[in-house]
Amino acid sequence: MNKKTTIYDIAKKLDTTAATVSRALNNNPKISASTRKLVLETAAQMNYKQNKLALALQSGKSGNIGVIVPRIDSNFFASVIRGIEDELQPEGYHVIICQTHENEKREIENINTLLNAQVDGILMSASNVSKENNSIIKRVIEKNVPLIFFDRKKNIDGVSSVTINDFEGAYLATKHLIGEGCTKIAHLTGDQSLEIYENRNNGYKQALLDSGFEYNEDYIIQTKSSVEAGRQAVEKLLKLKNPPNAIFSSSDFAALGAIQELKEQGIRIPEDFCVFGFGNEPFTKFMELSISSVDQSPMEMGKMAAKVFLEQINSTEKFKIEKKVVLNPELHIRKSSLRHAL
């Protein structure tokens, strides 16, 4: 096994001190440009690798940022991560990605692992199960590690967040369905203990009330964000004594499943039944029956979360910067809800 080159080896070869080599490797202004150049060239020739953990402990910065998401096999979270990387890599940061798979134990393990790795900050979308347990979040705050929530957040003093206006997105989508002549609109919601789904349900409800329609609890179906869940929800809705003639779904995947089931039941879309999703997943615009959806602007969300982190870590103020950034939603109207274009 080859012995690793140390700063002492470099110092011996150059007939100088280890302290001089260390300063040169770390761009200390006390070292001349010519000495620094010689040290760097010698280090490269001797295949010297700096101990990044030691550097992190010495400088207080690791150059690493932790990003925690429920899953990465989602266009939304993949796009958020891309936005974060695009903003942080030019600043010299590397992104460490962790997945929770909606598992509280894994979420806690991820945070502890990132803290132990001396990350400079954590950007996080909370899991479905992280409702009450804030002890791990308190540990992050106590360690003075910048924490920024995106998409799914917890309301904690001193912690910044970047979200979309879920209430407004749901309100506008429901008003669109009403404008297309839909009089009985069902809602496929996620777990409403999460604020994003609570807000989408509230936006849906307010749009109905503002238009003189009743908010019918029978039309509210809690589903997972999956095609199969959307199919099952439609089966339940069509068995009602007074079934709906439209669906606003908090998930594009559930909306897709709903459309598949409606077609199998011989129901025409949008002539007899309209569907509106949320997320603007890529497949929504490429299908033969394109799906109307609310765009969550994931790239912009990721970039903004990264900017909030940079502003926080670069601040010279003694008090913590807390920002609540709310992005505006954008509707993409397509065939699945567009009756008046027929």
> pLDDT per residue over 279-292, tens digit each?
999 999 999 999 99
Of 119, 169, 160, the C-alpha closest to 332 is: 169
Residue 166 has pLDDT above 90, yes or no: yes
Report the amino acid identity of residue 153. K
At 157 the pLDDT is 82
Q: Is residue 252 pLDDT above 60, yes or no?
A: yes
**Exposed e or buried b for every residue in 205-242, given b needs 16+ CB within 10 A?**
bbbbeeeebeeeeebebebbbebebbbbbbeebeeeee
Look up the pTM and report it: 0.80
Identify the band that residue 303 occupies on the pLDDT scale cut at 50, 70 and 90.
Answer: very high
Q: Is the pLDDT of residue 207 over 90?
A: yes
Give the full edge-to-edge strand order of the sheet including 94-99: 94-99, 64-69, 121-124, 147-150, 160-164, 324-327
pLDDT computed for residue 139 by the predictor: 87
- Write down the pLDDT at residue 53: 52
pLDDT digits (tens, 9 = 90+) for 38-80: 988 898 888 887 665 555 555 557 789 999 999 888 899 999 9
What average pLDDT does this structure show over 220-229? 95
Q: Is the pLDDT of residue 113 over 70?
A: yes
Low-confidence winner among 65-74, 126-135, 225-234 (lowest mean pLDDT): 126-135
Of 139 and 79, more confident: 79
| pLDDT given at position 248 | 98
* Rounded CA separation 167/205 (Å): 10
Q: Please give the pLDDT value at position 43.
A: 86
Look at residue 291 in the predicted model and tell me its pLDDT.
Answer: 97
Domains of the chain: 7-50 (1.10.260.40), 62-164+298-326 (3.40.50.2300), 166-296+331-337 (3.40.50.2300)
- Return the pLDDT at 1: 45
Choose between 45 and 242: higher pLDDT. 242
Quote the strand ranges of 152-207, DSSP E.
160-164, 185-189
Look over the chain and give the mean of its residue pLDDT values, rounded to a whole number: 89
What is the structure's pLDDT at 148? 95
Sheet holding 274-279, edge to edge: 220-222, 185-189, 246-249, 274-279, 292-295, 330-332
Neighbours of 165 (CB within 10 A): 16
Average pLDDT over residues 189-210: 94
Runs of H (alpha helix) within 89-134: 104-116
Answer positive or negative: Cα dihedral of 91, 97, 102, 107. negative
